[in-house]
Amino acid sequence: MLYVIGLGLSDETDITVKGLEAVKKSERVYLEAYTSILTIGKERLESYYGKEVVIADREMVESDSDSILANADQIDVSFLVVGDPYGATTHTDLVIRARELNIPVKVIHNASIMNAVGACGLQLYNFGQTISIVFFTDTWRPDSFYDRIKENHVLGLHTLCLLDIKVKEQSIENMARGRLIYEPPRYMTVNQAVEQLLEIEENRKEGVCKPDSLAIGCARIGTDSQKIVAGTLQELLNVDFGGPLHSLVLVGSRMHEMEAEFVKEYAFNPESFNTIVKRDYVH
């Protein structure tokens, strides 16, 4: 059996009882380590599980999945995913590959940012499409996700923005020269995401991500150090959210009074927050 197991959002104790039982009986245990991160190292996982944990980087998962699936039709193998197993398409690919090899698959779910974002006070069924914001470079400044935000905006729905993670990435020069030298890990902050959104808005001028648009910055959701701040995009530019992982929610115009009341507790400036909510959001 191949077990694909969600680890939740924080540390080694967030695994479900069902997930832990599967890990303990597995002969090999892999930890997917590039679509998200835990707040702890793999040593803590190994101590808690009583098992060696093999770090599965992007190259292994995408190019060498056969090594993960080897003999999984005869033994139990666990593939651990931060959050929920279906939070990234890569894990869907692994399941499809296992099915092609007639390997039984069991998925064990857990909390992910896709549902835990409700901690910010906005109701989950008022969210539209989730989008990803990638790091800009000097030569590549993509803005296609703006169209998805606009579609949510037109419907008055909130948008969850997942922010870029760069782990075990090569520079263009090292890649061109075939040198396996990797850049230090980088995790996009709320501030960087806001800067990029405002730059796109300045170019597109469609009124979707204005400086006075309401948003909620979220950091380390599900951990003891989580931080949530609500305010205008302009206000969030200068908030220190601390270490990774960060995400950003763009507030939709169909904000409910109960949502506004809840979110107000996180307001960067409660007075201006109330004014903007009454003017542009809750009617």
Distance CA 182, CA 149 (A): 33
3-class DSSP state for residue 219?
strand
253 belongs to an annotated ligand binding site: no
Cα–Cα distance between 104 and 79 in angstroms, integer? 13
- CA atoms of 49 and 29, how far apart (whole Å): 10
pLDDT in tens, the chain (283 residues): 999 999 999 899 999 999 999 999 999 999 987 777 777 888 999 999 999 999 887 777 777 788 999 999 999 999 999 999 988 766 788 899 999 999 999 999 999 999 999 999 999 999 999 999 999 988 999 999 999 999 999 999 999 999 998 876 655 666 666 666 666 789 999 999 999 999 999 999 999 999 999 999 999 999 999 999 999 999 999 999 999 999 999 999 999 999 999 999 999 999 999 999 999 998 6
**Residue 163 marked in a binding site:** yes
C-alpha pair distances (Å), 199 with each of 25, 129, 165, 194, 231: 51, 21, 20, 9, 18
Residue 45 in marked binding region: no
Q: Which of 93, 56, 72 is nearest to 3 (CA)?
A: 72
What is the C-alpha to C-alpha distance for residues 182 and 172, in angstroms, rounded to an integer? 10
Q: Which residues pair with 56 in a beta bridge?
A: 32
Distance of alpha carbon 204 from alpha carbon 76, whole angstroms: 51
Please tell me whether 246 is known to bind a ligand.
yes
Q: pTM to 2 decimals?
A: 0.91
d(CA 3, CA 258): 40
- Residue 71 structure tokens: 């003999």
- Residue 250 annotated as binding site: no
Do the annotations mark residue 87 as ligand-binding? yes
| Closest to 11 in 3D by CA, of 44, 33, 35 | 44
Is residue 143 within 8 Å of 206, Cβ to Cβ?
A: no
- Based on C-alpha coordinates, what's the Rg of the chain? 20
Confirm if 142 and 251 have CB atoms less than 8 A apart: no
